[in-house]
Amino acid sequence: MNRAIRQLSPGVTLRYIATHVAWVTLDRPQARNAVDGDAALGLEHAVAITEADVDIWCTVLTGAGEQAFCAGADLRVIAEGEAASLSTPGGGFAGFVNQPRQKPWIAAVNGFALAGGTEIALACDLIVAAEHAAFGLPEVQRGLVAAAGGLYRLTRAIPRALAIELILTGERLSAQRAQQIGLVNHVVPMAELHACALALAQRICANAPIAVRESLTVARAAFDHDDHALRQISAHAMHTVANSNDFKEGPRAFLEKRPPRWSGT
């Protein structure tokens, strides 16, 4: 496996860190990993690469350094009148929050994730956080609106009353409290964050990749459709899985009392 770091843009890197696992880094520590135009293009490129590569089954997204996962939009870019560059037509803010993805993404939050940083984390499927990490949508404190998915994704992810309190006050949420209310999967010391995210990715990759992707498709749609539509989406997922080679491999491995050898086909 090629573990060399690929520079996707001046602000985003990608490397293959383990079998079937990609690691994407917002690499602008001097700007607290805030999103500029290059970072948006880089993240959009990262999604395209990981979706197209059949050998990648799960991706981890983190920020460089230990201070910030992402501070949101780069205010210098906005001040220069280039706010439009922070989004892409297909991906929305950061080239990421609206980007269609079949494969799971894990946010490894290595510091504070504020405004657009929280929105990027919420657009991932799972979140692990360092003990000093914090989340927040402080847009109302600046006369703005968290329009990159934060307002509805946060309200879906945690109890409604708590979400509205955070949205209307703009206050921060500690990693520990975020875990207590179900926003974060795991909280660990900073020194263990990398290993925690990788271990979670590898637990996912131990399973049949097509079954994982199809299951994730249904789970993501849970808040968007009624039960009738979700039954249809689930039936389509089952049909897709049933036509895969891995559908046969799973029962065969069980009967032969051996680990399954997933092909992803």
For residue 130, what is the enclosing H or E element? strand 126-130
pLDDT digits (tens, 9 = 90+) for 114-155: 999 999 999 999 999 999 999 999 999 999 999 999 999 999
Which residues, listed in sequence order, are joined to residue 173 by a DSSP beta bridge? 135
pLDDT digits (tens, 9 = 90+) for 94-108: 999 999 999 999 999
- Mean pLDDT (the chain) is 96
Q: Is 131 a catalytic residue?
A: no
**Is-contact 41 77, C-beta < 8 A?**
no
pTM of the model: 0.95
Set 44, 80, 131, 139: catalytic member: 139
pLDDT digits (tens, 9 = 90+) for 46-104: 999 999 999 999 999 999 999 999 999 998 999 899 999 999 999 999 999 999 999 99
- Model confidence at 160, in pLDDT bands (50, 70, 90)? very high
- Model confidence at 4, in pLDDT bands (50, 70, 90)? confident
Q: Count CB atoms within 10 A of the CB of residue 99.
A: 19
Set 82, 119, 214, 256: catalytic member: 119
Q: Is 165 a catalytic residue?
A: no
Q: Is the pLDDT of residue 1 over 60?
A: no
| Rg of the chain taking only CA atoms, in angstroms | 19
Q: What is the pLDDT of residue 257?
A: 93
Q: Is the pLDDT of residue 13 over 70?
A: yes
Q: What is the pLDDT of residue 3?
A: 67
Tokens of 67: 């201070």
Residue 77 CA to residue 188 CA, distance in Å, equals 33
pLDDT digits (tens, 9 = 90+) for 182-238: 999 999 999 999 999 999 999 999 999 999 999 999 999 999 999 999 999 999 999
Q: Stretch 5-12: mean pLDDT, rounded? A: 94
Q: Stretch 146-174: mean pLDDT, rounded? A: 97
pLDDT digits (tens, 9 = 90+) for 25-39: 999 999 999 999 999
Q: What is the pLDDT of residue 173?
A: 97
**How is the beta sheet containing 112-114 ordered, strand by strand?**
68-70, 112-114, 134-136, 173-174
Token pair 């805030």 is found at 34
